[in-house]
């Protein structure tokens, strides 16, 4: 039996909110199915993010659930429309794990991306040669052709830095070891730090270095990324990744905690100007 791919980010988030609204007014799956003239299993699949739903069907469900808030209605109808769109990354569906495609979709939809990295330069800032060196160091590295495809995708992802509608603000806190380790050798690392320095002066990019002298800090549990979205009422999503799996945190109480940790890290890190000086010093040592 084939393994069903993970639902898209938009579908999952839309379905979760529709379920919350339905349960909040005591309606059943059968009630929703009557309105859409379908079987209740379709409603279940919509709520689990396994099936798409038309914007007009979302409107009918929101009417049933008594949702009058214009912002909520606009947000959820927009998620339904966006969920039907095809992203550029889907051209690589035969290569990309579904969890990686979800991250790309989050990046593409976000208006504010905040990331904390302990040992690496963030993916959106990596040069191709630096990314190749990182990938090659993995003992589970795959065949060269797939590697090149993944590098092509990594470079394409960086197009979000050029978006104008909306302009995407990217804020990164990078632990000092990440700018000191000569990944790929001195020349590769120098090019990477030059790239990081160039990006750090862009109006939509903030880079802060967390120095080792900071000692214990709020991010010692590991890296994370917080995605914020332009639609009113749309909650943040936190992405966590380890060697063999990934996790999305979407409950507001939990995402608020990561925001608090990020703010604490910003306070512990060097300010943007001092961070640029730290990057220049790292370049000088290569």
pLDDT at 1 over 70: no
Residue 2 lies in a domain: no
pLDDT (0 to 100) of residue 2: 30
The whole-model pTM stands at: 0.81
pLDDT digits (tens, 9 = 90+) for 51-71: 888 999 999 999 999 999 998
Cα distances from 272 to residues 33, 65, 82, 152, in angstroms, run 53, 47, 35, 30
pLDDT (0 to 100) of residue 8: 65
Asked which of 83, 115, 146 is the last residue of a domain, the reply is 83
Q: How many CB atoms lie within 10 A of CB 203?
A: 7
- Residue 183 sits at the vertex; the CA angle it makes with 179 and 186, to the nearest 5 degrees, is 85
Comparing 45 with 82, the larger pLDDT belongs to 45
Say if residue 65 is in the same domain as residue 105: no
Say if residue 232 is in the same domain as residue 148: yes
* Token output for 81: 């429309």
pLDDT (0 to 100) of residue 10: 75
How many structural domains comprise the chain?
A: 2
Q: How far apart are CA 214 and CA 178, in angstroms?
A: 15
Residue 24 lies in a domain: yes
Say if residue 32 is in the same domain as residue 95: no
Say if residue 230 is in the same domain as residue 125: yes
% of the chain at pLDDT higher than 70:
93
The angle, 0 to 180 degrees and rounded to 10, between the axes of the packed helices 9-24 and 55-64 is 20
Say if residue 69 is in the same domain as residue 118: no
**How high does pLDDT run on average in the chain?**
89
Mean pLDDT across 239-244: 81
Residue 191 lies in a domain: yes
Residue 178 lies in domain: 88-284
pLDDT digits (tens, 9 = 90+) for 138-160: 877 667 888 888 899 999 999 99
pLDDT digits (tens, 9 = 90+) for 172-207: 999 999 999 999 999 999 999 999 999 999 999 999
Asked which of 57, 83, 109 is the last residue of a domain, the reply is 83
Residue 3 lies in a domain: no
Q: How far apart are CA 278 and CA 286, in angstroms?
A: 13
Say if residue 191 is in the same domain as residue 242: yes
Mean pLDDT across 110-129: 96
pLDDT (0 to 100) of residue 23: 94
DSSP string, the chain: -PPPPPPPHHHHHHHHHHHHHHHHTT--HHHHHHHHTS-HHHHHHHHTTSS---HHHHHHHHHHTT---HHHHHHHHHHHHHHTSPPGGGGGTTTS-HHHHHHHHHHHH-SEEEEEESSS--GGG--HHHHHHHHHT-TT---HHHHHHHHHHHHHHGGGGG-BTTBPEEEEEEEHHHHHS-TT-HHHHHHHHHHHHHHHTSTTEEEEEE-GGG-S-TTTT--EEEEE-SSTTPPPEEEEE-SS-EEEE--HHHHHHHHHHHHHHHHHSPPHHHHHHHHHHHHHT-
Mean pLDDT across 205-210: 98
Contact 224, 264 (CB under 8 A): no
The distance from CA 168 to its chain's CA centroid, rounded to whole angstroms, is 12
pLDDT (0 to 100) of residue 276: 98
Residue 150 lies in a domain: yes
Cα distances from 121 to residues 130, 159, 251, in angstroms, run 9, 17, 28
Say if residue 64 is in the same domain as residue 147: no
pLDDT digits (tens, 9 = 90+) for 73-93: 998 988 888 776 677 887 887
Q: How many CB atoms lie within 10 A of CB 8?
A: 21
């Amino acid at each position: 039996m084939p393994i069903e791919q993970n639902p898209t980010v938009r579908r999952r988030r839309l379905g979760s909110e529709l379920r919350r609204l339905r349960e909040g007014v005591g309606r059943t799956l059968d009630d929703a199915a009557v309105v859409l003239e379908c079987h209740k299993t379709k409603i279940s699949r919509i709520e689990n993010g396994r099936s798409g739903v038309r914007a007009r069907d979302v409107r009918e469900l929101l009417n049933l659930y008594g949702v009058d808030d214009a912002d909520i209605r606009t947000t959820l109808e927009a998620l339904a429309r966006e969920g039907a769109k095809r992203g550029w990354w889907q051209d690589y569906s035969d290569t990309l794990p579904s969890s990686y495609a979800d991250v790309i979709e989050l990046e593409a939809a976000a208006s504010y991306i905040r990331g904390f990295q302990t040992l690496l330069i963030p993916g959106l800032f990596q040069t191709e040669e630096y990314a190749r060196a990182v990938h090659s160091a993995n003992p589970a590295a795959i065949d060269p052709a797939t590697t090149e495809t993944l590098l092509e995708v990594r470079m394409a992802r960086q197009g979000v830095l050029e978006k104008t509608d909306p302009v995407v603000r990217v804020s990164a806190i990078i632990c000092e070891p990440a700018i000191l380790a000569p990944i790929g050798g001195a020349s590769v690392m120098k090019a990477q730090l030059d790239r990081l320095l160039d990006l750090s002066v862009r109006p939509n990019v903030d880079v802060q270095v967390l120095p080792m002298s900071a000692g214990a800090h709020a991010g010692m549990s590991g890296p994370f990324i917080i995605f914020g979205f332009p639609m009113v009422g749309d909650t943040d999503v936190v992405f966590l990744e380890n060697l063999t799996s990934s996790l999305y945190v979407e409950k507001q109480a939990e995402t608020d905690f990561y925001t608090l940790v990020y703010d604490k890290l910003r306070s512990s890190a060097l300010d943007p100007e001092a961070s640029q000086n730290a990057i220049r010093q790292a370049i000088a040592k290569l």
